[in-house]
With several copies, the nearest count.
Chain A
Amino acid sequence: MDDSNKLALNYKDYQSDRINDWCAGCGDHGILRALEKALAEMGLPRDQVAAFGGIGCSGKTPYYLNTYGVHTLHGRVLSFATGAKLANPSLNVIAMGGDGDALSIGGGHFINTGRRNLDMTYIMFNNGVYGLTKGQAAPTLQPGDKTKSMAQSNIQGQLNPVLLALVSGYTWVGRGYAYDVKTLTGLIVDAIRHPGIAFLDVLQPCPKYNDLHTKSWYGERLYDLSKVGHHSLISTDSEEQLAEEIRIMALIRAREWGERIPTGVFLQDLSRPEFQEQIGQLQPAYSAQPPSRQTISDEMGKSMVDLTTLFENLRVS
């Protein structure tokens, strides 16, 4: 991302005047606030930020921001966001959605987005349930869990989003907590600043439907990776062996769930080239003239494309 045009704005300047219809006490409020604060801290011009939401309670977030806002389809938020970023690299693209959105219906895009180290941020609202459809189990729920609107306890396994992000290739992977706005703000800033694909898992209590993963449940369990000496950074010049150790330590930490739940940054890998740079190497004009910035017709409205060379190979005479 690019915060060279930093503005002096207050977090309120990033709020739209739309009515927020999340439940009182919902963790989503904290995530929204942290996001506003992160944008303010970075002073990003509002017209250079595009927020994309999936479908779910979480997916409504873009409505509440006074940036560009795109409310997409269930499970597809990463595709829309990727398309926009590829076409207009100067946008700061932030994708957001629920855990059902991300890992269940959107699971294929989740793992394939990790394959592209595109400079964008994905924030997943992890509430263990399908909020907007009234509390069914999300894939983040553990086997045996039974939240209040489930008829029977969960017999499907849990997908661990952090672990999945790590093995899919995301180059910045972190976890925050919706009720800790301050730390979360820092993590979001970090994720946005990271020059590659960033995934942030946010533990988000849903007081309406998830009566297991409440404030008190999290309270005892969360700990901060930075406090336990976890080393997350692979720099451009890290030795490969060290890098591999860091990657493996990230996996080991990511497996923790239950009694002790790590938060903070699991991995930041700067050794992998950013995706749009790579495109620019294969297609040199891309950087200067990305799809959204091409002038394609002249003043007379005529096409400016010259196909002569191309025709050459296909011509007979």
Chain B
Amino acid sequence: MVLNLVNQETDNLSWRIGGPQGSGINRIARLFARACATQGAELICRREYHSNIMGRHSYNDILMGAKSAHCHRESTDILVSFDPETLARHALMVTDKGCVLHSSEDADVPLGRLAYLDERLREDLTRRLEAFNLPPSTGGLLQMINQKGVQSFAIPYGQLLTKLAEAVDKPRQWVAAAQNTLAASVSATLMSLAQETLEEAIETAFGGRKDLVELNHQAMLIAYNYTREHISWKGPSIPVNESPGERLLINATQGVALGKLAAGMGFQSYYPISPATDESTFLEAHAGAPLDNGQTSGPLIFQVEDELAAINMASGAALTGARSATSTSGPGFSLMSEGLGWAGMNEVPLVVTLYQRGGPSTGMPTRTDQGDLQFALNAGHGEFPRIILASGDVTSCFYDAAQAFDYAEHYQLPVIHLLDKALTSTLQTIPLPEPSQISIDRGERDIKSSQSLQGVKRFQLTDSGISPRPVLGDPNGQHWTTGVEHSEQGQVTEDPVLREAMMEKRARKLELAAAEIPVSEKLEILGDEASEFTLLTWGSNKGAVLDAMQRLADSGISARAVQLRLLWPLPADELMAILSESSPSVMIEANFSGQLNKLFQQQIGRGCDYVILKYSGRPISGEALFPALMDIHTGSAEPHIVLRNSFE
């Protein structure tokens, strides 16, 4: 199925800014988002960028509303463009009543001159323009969208920068970086953003540097003036939540980092990798989170030589009783397979935060994917228990990251916390998380001291499978751990009977987890609980599903959604019950083969009636999901649906 992008009326407003990587797009988008949020908007932002430092195309969306949208839109209402490539990539995604703000210089650039434009897209655009008898250039594209009602305005950034240089009395080159601020300020004017609010945001963003604050302040003034004088179009106002409450504006990596701090994590090792690095970098900058007993403490965040070191150091730290984690993405996780098995064999409470990105291999480092589920389920040779949980939105990142340590320590096993790149690029206003709500479960500890030379029974055979845990450094707590099959005392054994007992013991912990963990921690039911039209999903698709359900409801169609949080042990009984009352059931995943659906087949004996997938490296949106679900509802859909959008 090919998605037909529909422009539609929405109660939210999408602002998009695009341009070459490294030119400050991301920074200005965050500044603008902060200003809009301060004005009272609830917002959700999306970011797309290439695996490159400078020059290739990147863009940020800010979708704002009086209440928080669940997910980004693929179309946009206002497009702010810094280069002709952005026009080429996004012009056709602007909604009918929308507007384009571009640089005057880009008004008519032949597509053939855009070095970084994918050949495929160039050809596609050329064909489309030809059909309208338009030239293959940005000019042609602008004409095309103007014809359907989109406004476009050429902003003479060059002139404005010259003016700015004069205003601050600095060389033209020095002020060039403020082009972003000019652009944001033009938007701000059109969208009636209070000048003070933008000023404040500038102040926050450029903090200490007085000269920069002044520069950007002047840029803002120049842009406000220019806009009032030259643009008559009245843009939509920034929507405002009248009673916003206390909110944070954060993304998933920050949510996870905050959750880890709240949970009292003591140690995190990492090796840089996109998109996981941001979490560790954020933690490094804020590791000294204060305890409320007045003492300042916080975790040690440690950049190591590779991911093999990362996971094994984290295990080493966990053995001493510290709450311990490592954070990575696909290639790094591949290298962790062996260490994961060691942690499983030695019943080490260890949290592995896995940010999925486009695979296989180096793949698409800065694009999203949910292609690592089956690998996470099976990584490491041999058989050992693990818990896998996945977060669906920024707020749950916080709570899930914290609870992952509880699972790890209670069941003494590695916990894999699955996220995806889409979430890391989702910057969102969320209600203030409450660390004080977090209960901490450190699991059963062994506080007896060893009398015998054989040491403490670290791996005592118990009914629950859980052996009270001594840690390195306990007084008289000497014991042995080993990746070799072992006795209760951690002695190497090849005895067949003991071997069987240990395999069974370790496996029992997972049965216990399946029985003990409350349903509410396993899955979340959203939408109309009574509906049989059931959407099942995991991870960042949650937002798209909520959004699409809203659209269905608006069309008078009720549906419910099951957002799966605990992926392993899979809540098979609960899901079985749900599936037996579903008609139709629809699995929604951002990967190629429908990995959760496969897991359903394996564990429940049946998959869903329909599977909707997307594997272009871009996240699923409610906008794209909705028509697919409508087709399912009307019975005109194939069971295997692929969402595609050639402009993302």
Binding site for B on A (CB under 8 A): 15-19, 21-24, 46-48, 50, 52, 55, 57, 60, 62-63, 66-76, 79-88, 90-91, 104-105, 107-109, 112, 130-134, 136-137, 139, 151-152, 208, 279, 283-286, 288-292, 294-297, 300-307, 309-311, 314-317
Closest to B479 in A: A68
Answer yes or no: B287 CB below 8 A from chain A CBs: yes
Tell me the smallest distance from the CB of B339 to a CB of chain A, in Å.
7
Tell me the smallest distance from the CB of A279 to a CB of chain B, in Å.
7
Kindly list 12 other residue pairs between chains A and B, CB separation below 8 angstroms, not including A133-B274, A283-B300: A62-B480, A68-B472, A70-B482, A73-B331, A80-B316, A83-B313, A87-B267, A285-B297, A289-B295, A296-B291, A305-B261, A310-B258
Inter-chain contact B288/A294, CB cutoff 8 Å: no
Tell me the smallest distance from the CB of B537 to a CB of chain A, in Å.
28
Which of A71, A285, A296 touches B323 (beta carbons < 8 Å)?
A296
Which of B22, B290, B472 touches A306 (beta carbons < 8 Å)?
B290
Inter-chain contact B317/A83, CB cutoff 8 Å: yes
Answer yes or no: B303 CB below 8 A from chain A CBs: yes
Q: Mark B439-477, 1 if CB is under 8 A from A, else 0.
A: 111100000000011110000000000000001111111
Interface-side segment among B137-145, B429-437, B553-561: B429-437
User: What residues on B are CB-neighbors of A105 within 8 Å?
Assistant: 271, 305-307
A-B contact pairs, 6 of them (CB 8 A): A50-B473, A133-B277, A151-B281, A208-B53, A297-B439, A302-B437
Tell me the smallest distance from the CB of B561 to a CB of chain A, in Å.
28
Inter-chain contact B291/A109, CB cutoff 8 Å: no
User: What residues on A are CB-neighbors of B432 within 8 Å?
Assistant: 311, 315
User: What residues on A are CB-neighbors of B473 within 8 Å?
Assistant: 47-48, 50, 68, 88, 90-91, 292
Inter-chain contact A72/B478, CB cutoff 8 Å: no
Inter-chain contact A87/B116, CB cutoff 8 Å: no
Q: Interface size of B by Cβ–Cβ distance < 8 Å?
A: 110
Answer yes or no: B98 CB below 8 A from chain A CBs: no
Tell me the smallest distance from the CB of B457 to a CB of chain A, in Å.
14
Inter-chain contact A317/B22, CB cutoff 8 Å: no
**Distance in angstroms between the alpha carbons of A225 and B244 in the assembled complex:** 67
Tell me the smallest distance from the CB of A209 to a CB of chain B, in Å.
8
Inter-chain contact B53/A307, CB cutoff 8 Å: no
**Distance in angstroms between the alpha carbons of A74 and B296 in the assembled complex:** 37
Inter-chain contact A83/B315, CB cutoff 8 Å: yes
Tell me the smallest distance from the CB of A241 to a CB of chain B, in Å.
32
Q: Mark B398-440, 1 if CB is under 8 A from A, else 0.
A: 0000100000000000000000000000000100110111111
Answer yes or no: B169 CB below 8 A from chain A CBs: no
**Distance in angstroms between the alpha carbons of A115 and B526 in the assembled complex:** 51
Interface-side segment among B121-129, B216-224, B248-256, B509-517: B248-256
Inter-chain contact A73/B305, CB cutoff 8 Å: no
Inter-chain contact B484/A16, CB cutoff 8 Å: no
* A285-B295, A296-B263, A297-B442 known; A291+B300 contact, CB < 8 A: yes
**Residue of A69, A304, A309 with most chain B CB atoms under a 10 A cut-off:** A304
Answer yes or no: B593 CB below 8 A from chain A CBs: no
* A105-B271, A283-B298 known; A84+B319 contact, CB < 8 A: yes
Answer yes or no: B194 CB below 8 A from chain A CBs: no
Inter-chain contact A302/B436, CB cutoff 8 Å: yes
Tell me the smallest distance from the CB of B63 to a CB of chain A, in Å.
16
* A23-B22, A134-B277, A301-B441 known; A283+B324 contact, CB < 8 A: no
User: What residues on B are CB-neighbors of A55 within 8 Å?
Assistant: 362, 483
Which of B244, B285, B482 touches A71 (beta carbons < 8 Å)?
B482
Which of B295, B313, B315, B429 touches A316 (beta carbons < 8 Å)?
B429
Answer yes or no: B302 CB below 8 A from chain A CBs: yes
Closest to A132 in B: B53
User: What residues on A are CB-neighbors of B633 within 8 Å?
Assistant: none
Which of A71, A107, A292, A304 touches B292 (beta carbons < 8 Å)?
A304
**Distance in angstroms between the alpha carbons of A315 and B453 in the assembled complex:** 52
**Distance in angstroms between the alpha carbons of A293 and B474 in the assembled complex:** 11
Closest to B272 in A: A133
Inter-chain contact B115/A19, CB cutoff 8 Å: yes
Answer yes or no: B309 CB below 8 A from chain A CBs: yes
Inter-chain contact B440/A302, CB cutoff 8 Å: yes
Tell me which residues from 311 to 330 in chain B have a Cβ below 8 Å from any Cβ of chain A.
Answer: 312-324
Inter-chain contact B478/A68, CB cutoff 8 Å: yes
Tell me the smallest distance from the CB of A236 to a CB of chain B, in Å.
26
Answer yes or no: B37 CB below 8 A from chain A CBs: yes
Inter-chain contact A297/B440, CB cutoff 8 Å: yes
Binding site for A on B (CB under 8 A): 22, 34, 37-38, 50-56, 115-116, 244, 246-250, 254, 258, 261-264, 266-267, 269, 271-274, 277, 281, 284-293, 295-300, 302-309, 312-324, 331, 338-339, 342, 361-362, 402, 429, 432-433, 435-442, 452-455, 471-484, 490-492
Which of B305, B453, B481, B484 touches A104 (beta carbons < 8 Å)?
B305
Inter-chain contact B481/A69, CB cutoff 8 Å: yes
User: What residues on A are CB-neighbors of B309 within 8 Å?
Assistant: 76, 79, 82, 108-109, 112
User: What residues on A are CB-neighbors of B271 within 8 Å?
Assistant: 104-105
Inter-chain contact A73/B116, CB cutoff 8 Å: no
**Distance in angstroms between the alpha carbons of A297 and B248 in the assembled complex:** 24
Tell me the smallest distance from the CB of B278 to a CB of chain A, in Å.
9
User: What residues on A are CB-neighbors of B288 within 8 Å?
Assistant: 283, 285
Inter-chain contact B439/A88, CB cutoff 8 Å: no
**Distance in angstroms between the alpha carbons of A198 and B324 in the assembled complex:** 26
Inter-chain contact A307/B262, CB cutoff 8 Å: yes
**Distance in angstroms between the alpha carbons of A315 and B476 in the assembled complex:** 47
Inter-chain contact A317/B480, CB cutoff 8 Å: no
Tell me the smallest distance from the CB of A45 to a CB of chain B, in Å.
9
**Distance in angstroms between the alpha carbons of A18 and B440 in the assembled complex:** 38
Tell me the smallest distance from the CB of B422 to a CB of chain A, in Å.
19
User: What residues on B are CB-neighbors of A19 within 8 Å?
Assistant: 115-116
Inter-chain contact B322/A314, CB cutoff 8 Å: no
**Distance in angstroms between the alpha carbons of A174 and B442 in the assembled complex:** 42
**Distance in angstroms between the alpha carbons of A75 and B339 in the assembled complex:** 11
Inter-chain contact B254/A314, CB cutoff 8 Å: yes
Tell me the smallest distance from the CB of B376 to a CB of chain A, in Å.
20
User: What residues on B are CB-neighbors of A73 within 8 Å?
Assistant: 312, 331, 338-339, 342, 361-362, 483
Inter-chain contact B477/A47, CB cutoff 8 Å: yes
Inter-chain contact A87/B324, CB cutoff 8 Å: yes
Which of A52, A69, A76, A292 touches B320 (beta carbons < 8 Å)?
A292
Which of A21, A66, A79, A315 touches B308 (beta carbons < 8 Å)?
A79
**Distance in angstroms between the alpha carbons of A87 and B348 in the assembled complex:** 15
Closest to B245 in A: A317
Tell me the smallest distance from the CB of A122 to a CB of chain B, in Å.
14
User: What residues on A are CB-neighbors of B286 within 8 Å?
Assistant: 310
Tell me the smallest distance from the CB of B497 to a CB of chain A, in Å.
19
**Distance in angstroms between the alpha carbons of A83 and B299 in the assembled complex:** 13
Tell me the smallest distance from the CB of A44 to a CB of chain B, in Å.
12
Closest to A83 in B: B316
Tell me the smallest distance from the CB of A12 to a CB of chain B, in Å.
10
Closest to A291 in B: B266
* A296-B264, A315-B248 known; A87+B317 contact, CB < 8 A: yes
User: What residues on B are CB-neighbors of A62 within 8 Å?
Assistant: 480
What are the nearest 6 A-B pairs in CB distance?
A296-B264, A83-B316, A291-B266, A83-B313, A291-B322, A71-B482
